[in-house]
A and B are shown apart, each in its own frame.
Chain A
């Protein structure tokens, strides 16, 4: 979608904020540019919509060399969100969002529909906010408008320059979450500049680390954390970050092995005895090869114990189930959907490897918190 080929930016005084940069952003990908201040990340971003002209190399967007395109036309087809938001204070929210469509000459009805749709999308009720002015909105609400405005003409590509950087931590996290949800649905190509590594890891499909105008590494968050190719990368992302982020903590770290199991052919009396021995109120049913079949609970056993011969008759599907490759974050997310407060973990052959319970999750995560006692706030 976006291709950089040996792109440099040299100012007249010889200063070179970007040095021979080459990389490509895939369609539908969320690429984060990150690095210390002065690393050239913002310059790189602004070269894409020609707010800063590059001085050598070629940049293509959607296969077309941007240097050969009319900059105004180019920009109308690329969404742009900046940290300072930059809403027009004399335009209503509606008019702010409608800007690019109206520049493109859409007819009024289509613009109206689109604005309404976008306001719903970013969680602002049009009936309440459409006619208001930016000053009447909070910072978080304003940036929602900023995001809606960037998406107004439905561009394939969106450039975001530290869009959540000026917001308070709670609002920032909320907007990050919502933007992730949007992104999952809309699958835009996003190039996103930040200096916040947590944000980069949370949002990015891939992360490009820049320093002094050069690209040090461009990889998935997992790869960056486990295989930093450069001393600076390791130092910049912080080695212990992997342990602070449940996203990157493997599920095996929060899972109990040897869960209480039972064969579905056993009698209910046997199941009750087994539960008592293991001090549990649920048993996972597995076949003779150890493959997960379902779950039985003490509650169901009590009601139906006299009526049934084998526990198979009251067995229920053990939803949700996670694979061994899942992360602690997945467990955190899915545990709330679990009827029995536990998630069985299976290997790729469906064999039961262990179980995550609320207790095991909390014990491990709380332990990690303590280990990183002085860890930064905001890393759940």
Chain B
């Protein structure tokens, strides 16, 4: 085997596989976007439900915590007998894996809203829905966003493992590189995955600052 310096290998592989890499990045983003989208909707909803109905706290938070303790690779493995291989089981696994930080932060954010504000709101005749949407969610927004950011970063990393069950994405390069013991291929998969995680975190941070209620920023 000819062993060129790592840098040259990388350049060579990039020339050979640039189209493939582009597709893999898009596939990776797709996995993350869909699973995160569902996780945000369901996670925030469950977080709200838990904050309203205290009885739900133990089962919901418990289940989500248990899911989080399963090694990510094992969770992906569990999906195969249930949903087969490909995109669908990967998205479901990533979704389940992203739930906990979102549920927990939504719940904590709502529970952390000053009791006197809620009392004043109720006392002045706001309905429960008005209190939720006009008071609790805006005031819990930055805490919820922190949960979403944590989830997103974990999600981008875990999505590289989705290649194992045939969902594609940047993981394909990493596993190919490992099996052929070509560091250049591993890096071509790993570096964009890391950059993607950083970029997503950065963008979500910007979004948070842009959307967060003004009166809280002082």
Contact = CB atoms under 8 A, between A and B. Distances in A.
Contacts of A76: 124-125
B124 A133 contact: no
A71 B135 CA distance: 19
Given A90-B139, A90-B214, A82 B125 contact: no
A85 B116 CA distance: 7
Contact of A90 (B120, B122, B216): B216
Interface string A94-134: 00000110010000000000000000000000000000011
A87 B126 CA distance: 14
A74 B216 contact: no
State which size class the interface on B falls in.
20 to 34
B124 A80 contact: yes
B114 A134 contact: no
A317 interface: no
A49 B123 contact: yes
A89 B117 CA distance: 9
A150 B125 CA distance: 11
B127 interface: yes
Interface in A125-169: 133-136, 146, 149-150, 159
A99 B124 contact: yes
Contacts of B119: 51, 82, 84, 86
Nearest to A80: B123
Interface of B: 114-127, 130, 135, 138-139, 213-216, 218
A72 B215 contact: no
A88 B123 contact: no
10 closest cross-chain pairs (CB), A and B? A86-B120, A90-B213, A84-B116, A133-B215, A76-B125, A75-B125, A80-B123, A86-B116, A90-B215, A72-B125
A22 interface: no
A74 B125 contact: yes
A376 interface: no
A52 to B, nearest CB: 11
Contact of B138 (A80, A90, A92, A136): A90
A82 B126 CA distance: 16
B214 A72 contact: no
Given A90-B215, A91-B215, A133-B218, A82 B122 contact: no
Most central of B119, B127, B130 by chain A CB within 10 Å: B119
Contacts of A73: 125
A72 B121 CA distance: 11
A146 B216 CA distance: 18
A92 B139 CA distance: 14
Given A82-B116, A84-B116, A89 B123 contact: no
B194 to A, nearest CB: 35
Interface of A: 49, 51, 71-77, 80, 82, 84-92, 99-100, 103, 133-136, 146, 149-150, 159
A297 to B, nearest CB: 56
A100 B125 contact: yes
A92 B215 contact: yes
A136 B135 CA distance: 19
29 contacts: A73-B125, A75-B122, A75-B125, A76-B124, A76-B125, A80-B123, A84-B119, A86-B118, A86-B119, A86-B120, A86-B121, A87-B117, A87-B120, A88-B120, A88-B135, A88-B215, A89-B117, A89-B139, A89-B213, A89-B216, A90-B139, A90-B214, A92-B215, A99-B126, A103-B124, A103-B125, A135-B218, A149-B124, A150-B124
A146 B118 CA distance: 14
Contacts of A90: 138-139, 213-216
A76 B123 CA distance: 8
A92 to B, nearest CB: 7
Nearest to A99: B124
A92 B114 CA distance: 17
A310 to B, nearest CB: 67
